[in-house]
């Protein structure tokens, strides 16, 4: 079925709905939709079969071959044609505004989206407070074959445009689940331990029990738990972990940025699994 083409001439209800998705977390949650712009994020959403509900664009300037092909092959319900002035207002970019803006459906926060397997690697990020850190972490997770990311507690919105932009579209490639509390993970942990005797929960902490390279992470399903940027791992998560790992530091600084620390640990896990 071809998309319905709607022409927008002013800031009507359709325009306002797209605009509010860009800036309002509560509306994103209510509508179960979010705002996406940029070549890499839109390409990644399409390649990973996310449900795109609509595209917005302007015909007041020539569209690139990329944009034309996206629209020609689109399975979105609606295409919105906007005046250039409204695209400029809608776009989150100050210069060189996007040719296309997509409205994408938010999937259910269901742990079944993460595929269980013998060598599964999952990252749990407790209460992330920085869009940039979370986006950077997602990029590392995609690059290092992480099977899923679970966000727990009160945190930034993973569907905020700032998060999408920081992830460079990697969010669409890594199943990412949001849970209100670590307590919702307890039944899942129990099922994992029943299925796999060697399932491990590992915490990242500057006061860890052992250095990361001294830990055997070469096989078996595991969950790596990352704490909040300011407060680190909560007591509840520390109690759940089988052990805590740390990264050796040789300067005067006592800790890494959380996204950097997670990336280093994930690299070591991948190195042990791929090259040992």
Q: Can you give the residue ranges of every domain in the chain? A: 4-105, 111-275
Q: Cα(200)–Cα(196) distance, rounded to whole angstroms?
A: 9
CATH number belonging to the domain at 4-105, selected among 3.30.1490.100, 3.20.20.150, 3.30.1330.30, 2.130.10.10: 3.30.1330.30
SS3 for 88? helix
Given this model, what pLDDT does residue 255 score?
A: 72
pLDDT at 250: 84
According to DSSP, the β-strands at 78-81 and 148-152 are unpaired
Tokens representing residue 189 in the block: 């942990």
Instruction: State residue 254's pLDDT score.
Output: 67
Residue 199: strand, helix, or coil: coil
C-alpha R_g of the chain: 21
pLDDT at residue number 189: 96
Long-range contacts of 180-183 (CB under 8 A, 24+ apart): 180/152, 180/153, 181/152, 181/153, 182/126, 182/152, 182/153, 182/234, 182/236, 182/237, 182/240
The pLDDT of residue 18:
95
pLDDT at 205: 86
Question: Which residues, given as ranges, of the chain have pLDDT below 50?
Answer: none
Question: CA 235, CA 228: separation in Å to the nearest integer?
Answer: 12
Residue 2 parent element (H or E): none
Interstrand relation of 78-81 and 52-57 (parallel, antiparallel or unpaired)? parallel
**Helix pair angle (39-47, 65-72), 10° resolution:** 30
**Cα 125 to the center of its chain, rounded Å:** 11
Residue 139, Cα to own-chain centre: how many angstroms?
8
The fold of the 111-275 domain, in CATH, is Alpha/beta knot (3.40.1280)
């Amino acid at each position: 079925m071809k998309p319905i083409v709607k022409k927008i001439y002013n800031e009507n209800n359709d325009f306002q709905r797209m605009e509010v998705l860009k800036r309002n977390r509560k509306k994103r949650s209510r509508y179960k939709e979010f705002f996406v712009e940029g070549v890499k994020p839109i390409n990644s959403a399409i390649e990973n079969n996310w449900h795109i509900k609509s595209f917005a664009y302007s015909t007041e300037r020539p569209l690139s071959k990329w944009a034309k092909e996206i629209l020609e092959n689109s399975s979105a319900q609606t295409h919105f044609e906007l005046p250039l002035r409204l695209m400029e207002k809608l776009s989150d970019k100050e210069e060189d505004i996007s040719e296309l803006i997509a409205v994408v459906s938010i999937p259910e926060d269901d742990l079944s989206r993460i595929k269980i397997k013998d060598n599964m690697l999952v990252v749990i990020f407790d209460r992330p407070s920085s869009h940039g850190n979370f986006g950077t972490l997602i990029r590392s997770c995609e690059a290092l074959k992480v099977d899923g990311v679970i966000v727990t507690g009160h945190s930034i919105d993973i569907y905020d445009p700032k998060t999408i932009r920081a992830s460079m579209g990697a969010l669409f490639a890594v199943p990412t689940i949001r849970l209100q509390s670590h307590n919702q993970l307890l039944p899942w942990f129990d099922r994992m331990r029943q299925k796999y005797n060697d399932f491990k929960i590992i915490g990242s902490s500057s006061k860890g029990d052992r250095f990361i390279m001294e830990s055997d992470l070469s096989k078996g399903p595991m969950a790596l738990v990352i704490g909040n940027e300011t407060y680190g791992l909560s007591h509840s998560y520390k109690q759940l972990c089988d052990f805590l790992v740390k990264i050796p530091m040789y300067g005067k600084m006592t800790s890494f940025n959380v996204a950097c620390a997670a990336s280093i640990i994930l690299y070591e896990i991948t190195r042990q699994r791929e090259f040992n």
